[in-house]
Structures are given as C-alpha cells and as structure tokens.
Amino acid sequence: MQTELIKNKNDINHQSNELRSAGLKVTLPRIKILEILEHSPERHLSAEDVFRALLEAGDNISLATIYRVLTQFEDAGLLESHNFDNGHKVFELNRGDHHDHMVCVQTGKVIEFHNEEIEKLQHEVADRHGLEITGHSLVLYVKPK
C-alpha cells in the first residue's frame, strides 16, 4: 500500500513535469490521459480508445477534450500518431525510439520493429531523387503463417 502510494505520487510528479516542459497547464484530464497512454497494455490508442479506457477507470472526460489534448501532446512531441489502413488514427507515447509497425489483419494487434538497413535504403531512394525525408510511414499488414 505504502509503495503503491509512493509510486502514484512519483507518477504524477513525472507527468506534471512532462506537461510543464511542454508549456501546458497541469490539469486532471491531461494527467489522466497521459496515465492511460503510459500504462495501457496496448500502446497504440485512438481517441475513442482513450475515452473508453478513462471511462472504465471511472473518469468521464469529454471526447472533445481528448481530441484536443492528444493533438496538443503530439504538437509538443510527447506523442506520435499513425494512420493505419483501417482508417483510424492512433497515438502512442514518443519513447524516442524510432520504429515501424506490423498490424495483424486478423486481430488488429500491433507489433513494433526497427530495421536499420531499411531506413538506410529509404534515404538512398530519396537522395536519388534529390529529396530529403521529413517523415515516413512503413506498415506491414500480416497474419500468422
């Protein structure tokens, strides 16, 4: 119990700092949303996913706020977003480790991977056209063999 309390307190301080350094006021909705993103077993969440996770945790935060906050977090660099082909935009914490995604077409499960060689080849392709890469999206749609 004791350790649990300390953990939560540390968490909140940690999140408050993240918010402050992003130039955002520290509010309950923002802390709760950050918590969901940090603790959810599924790392890639849509606005709707966050809304429902909060509801299950007993926090009824309006969808409008969630959309606004997720966008602010993305602008601040706390989150990244991806548009998978199923049409939904998902957000994930920016942990500083660049990676790409495999999405299981049967279960929707998302697996992260990173391949340095693919990255290098991408830059070569852009170079060859006299272009500079500002971002990229690589998604493999997969199923169990």
Q: How far apart are CA 105 and CA 128, in angstroms?
A: 33
Q: Which does 143 bind (CB under 5 to 8 A by kind): a second copy, DNA, none?
A: a second copy
Question: End-to-end CA distance of the chain, in Å?
Answer: 45
Strands 100-104 and 110-113: antiparallel
Rounded least distance, CB 134 to a second copy, Å: 5
Among 2, 4, 25, 124, binds DNA (CB under 7 A): 25
Q: Binding mask 27-66 vs DNA (x if CB under 7 A, - otherwise)?
A: xxxx---------------xxx-----------xxxxxx-
Q: To 5 degrees, how large is the angle CA 80–CA 126–CA 118?
A: 65
Which run of H or E residues covers position 92?
strand 89-93
From residue 99, alpha-carbon distances to 18, 86, 111 in Å are 22, 20, 10
10 or 83: CB nearest DNA: 83
Closer to a second copy at the Cβ: 3 or 134?
134
From the CB of 101, what's the least distance to a second copy, in Å? 10
Does residue number 131 form part of the binding site for DNA (CB under 7 A)? Answer: no
- Could you count the other beta carbons within 10 Å of the beta carbon of residue 75? 12
Task: For the CB of residue 109, give the shortest distance to a second copy in the complex, in Å.
Answer: 10
Binding site for DNA (CB under 7 A): 20, 24-30, 46-48, 60-65, 67-69, 71-72, 88-89
